[in-house]
Amino acid sequence: MTLMLLAAGVQAQKMKSPNGLLSVEKVGNGYEVKYQDKKVLDLSAVGMATTKRGEGLAFQQMTKGGKVKADYQMLAGKKLHCTNEANEYVLHYQYADGSPMRLVMRLYNDGLAFRYELEGLYDERVKEELTTYSIADGVRRWFMQWSDGYEGFFPLATSGEGRSKHWGYPALLEPADGVFALISEANIERAQSASSLKNEQKPSEYKVFMDTNEVALYGDWHTPWRVVMIGSLADVVESTLITDVSEPSKLEDESWIEPGVVSWVYWAYNHGSNDFNIIKKYVDLAVALKLPYVLIDAEWDEFKDGKTVVDAVNYAKECGVKPMIWYNSSVGWLNGAPGPKFRLNKLEDREKEFAWCKSIGVVGVKIDFFSGDNQMNMDYCIELLESAARHNLLVNFHGATIPRGWQRTYPNLMSTEGVYGAEWYNNVPTFTKRAAAHNATLPFTRNVIGPMDYTPCAFSDSQHPHITSHAHELALTVLYESALQHLADRPESFLAQPQQVKDFLSELPSVWDETKLMGGYPGEYVAMARRNGDTWYVAVINGSDEPRSVELDWSRVKTKAKVGAMFADSGNADNPWNLSATASLPSKVDLQPRGGYVMVIPTK
């Protein structure tokens, strides 16, 4: 079946955001998106096809849906109290058989969200979505080649030509100087697959590709929200649009959900989680740095020397550290993959396993190696989150797709990997030279849409060396938002740092009341301010191999206090830190190549 769009004589008037700066207007069979009267995006085609409908889709009329307001609290994220407002419009279409399709559009001051709504379905399946973003050659873009684990770089390009024709979310572009658009999606529900972008037919035409969904649909059904955050880089970075359009949590009791910093074994010891003495080192590190959590990673089902994971869990509890453990999802990598496997796939097995976790004192689970964006994976993740919540277990998804608003709907989802992170120092030499620029791109791309388990902060080396500076590494703990912030380095490296650095890690928050971008450009540098309670944390990193001076915009950071602690690079390999305290707020900072700078600013 070929999806056909027929132009009708009915015209749709211009749609606008509450502040009037963002507008969408119907042009031909698609829509033109403007910001401050500059064209930022063409939706050159829209529409949905099922196995029974798709022919002759014709536009009928537009109706106003009124104001949509969001005002809610998050337990973690870039901002805890989130508010937003949109003007909603409904674009009514009709298929050749007379059945309706609604294209619901919400225009916010910081972007656009839209979805398709179908009704009267009977034993139908999703066939394809026609939504196409037209992006002309010459437009700067940072797109990641799609993979089922979303682990890749976001290289700068100015054309859709290239070795990949399949791209993952989020996709960042700069359609006009100083105006950015970040494309993603939100609010995946049951009977839905996730989507990505393909430009197989024409390099400039990026079509929404809905992954496999074999569910038979009856009655009413809608797609997830397609989301485009639009504005300045600060508007995009600070946007909460992904959670604004996601369903709220239905949990009656959320008091057991506690974000925090985690002592993590894998970066230094790939196979260390089956060794009680190695786990003991990381528990002792958590005690020394006053970290609330320790993660016992893969292969704990094969403990050595007569010990079991229960012995490790008990040791952690005796030390006042809360343990989490790892599971293989058993739907992705299986042959040659670590275990434990096949313990979570069936409901009865999952309930039994999670009940056991709770009974021995485990407080969270890291679940790894999923197999992409298809509907089966999406439903499985939802079932895992709901089952874990019944047993008061926190969840961290690894080897998984990116977050799409589940952090609001299921607040026990603390973090998701979906990023080319520090564990890649274990795998290939590629990361070493590209890490600094990649690190300076992620705050504008992947981390905008939700928590990111990059596993930051390594002062020593893993299998492959890192050439980012000490202050750069420390800055990542603030720069990257994750409700569970896993510290990557080995215990002896952390404990060898100056006391000021250890104190910083002991007091490091993993939730933020607000976030402000103070400057930056993808791949070049980032300056970010995040507030937790009465304290601002400012992190700056250099993504280039050359020294850089960065001017800091303090106008949007409400503090007149002096810097309480400062962490910079000395440039001396034998004594790498430059540490000071009680200084006035600097108007600019000087960064070493691939360097960093961190400030802690108490407001009282």
Give tens-digit pLDDT for 422-470.
999 998 999 999 999 999 999 999 999 999 999 999 999 999 999 999 9
pLDDT for 53 beyond 80 = yes
Q: Is there a domain that residue 344 lies in?
A: no
Tally of structural domains, the chain: 2
pLDDT for 209 beyond 70 = yes
Whether residue 293 contacts residue 334, with contact meaning beta carbons closer than 8 Å, is answered with: no
- Which residue range(s) make up the domain with 522? 517-602
CATH of the domain at 121: 2.70.98.10
Q: Kindly report the number of other CB atoms within 10 A of residue 27's CB atom.
A: 12
Condensed to tens digits (0 to 9), the pLDDT of residues 152-170 reads 999 999 999 887 899 999 9
Helix (H, G, I), strand (E, B) or coil at 244: helix
Q: Is there a domain that residue 331 lies in?
A: no
Q: Is there a domain that residue 509 lies in?
A: no
The residue-averaged pLDDT of 402-419 equals 98
Mean per-residue pLDDT over the chain, rounded: 96
The residue-averaged pLDDT of 307-335 equals 97
Give the pLDDT score at 4: 46
- 231: which strand partners? 180
Condensed to tens digits (0 to 9), the pLDDT of residues 82-125 reads 999 999 999 999 999 999 999 999 999 999 999 999 999 999 99
pLDDT for 317 beyond 50 = yes
Lowest model confidence (mean pLDDT) among 185-194, 218-227, 484-493, 557-566: 557-566
Across the chain, which distance is largest between two alpha carbons, in Å?
Answer: 78
Give the pLDDT score at 162: 81
pLDDT for 275 beyond 90 = yes
Q: Is there a domain that residue 295 lies in?
A: no
Give the pLDDT score at 172: 98
Q: How confident is the model at residue 8 (pLDDT cuts 50, 70, 90)?
A: very low
- Torsion sign across C-alpha atoms 297, 361, 396, 126: positive
Q: Is there a domain that residue 275 lies in?
A: no
Triad 260, 517, 561: Cα angle to 5°: 80
Domain boundary, last residue among 244, 274, 298: 244
Rounded to whole angstroms, the Cα distance separating 215 from 409 reads 22
Lowest model confidence (mean pLDDT) among 6-10, 13-17, 22-26, 591-595: 6-10
Q: Is there a domain that residue 188 lies in?
A: yes
CATH of the domain at 588: 2.60.40.1180
- 197: which strand partners? 167, 208
Q: Is there a domain that residue 594 lies in?
A: yes
Q: Is there a domain that residue 150 lies in?
A: yes
How far, in Å, are 4, 146, 163, 209 from residue 199 at the CA level? 19, 12, 11, 10
Domain boundary, last residue among 213, 244, 275: 244
Name the residue among 138, 72, 84 with its Cα closest to residue 113. Answer: 84
pLDDT for 582 beyond 90 = no
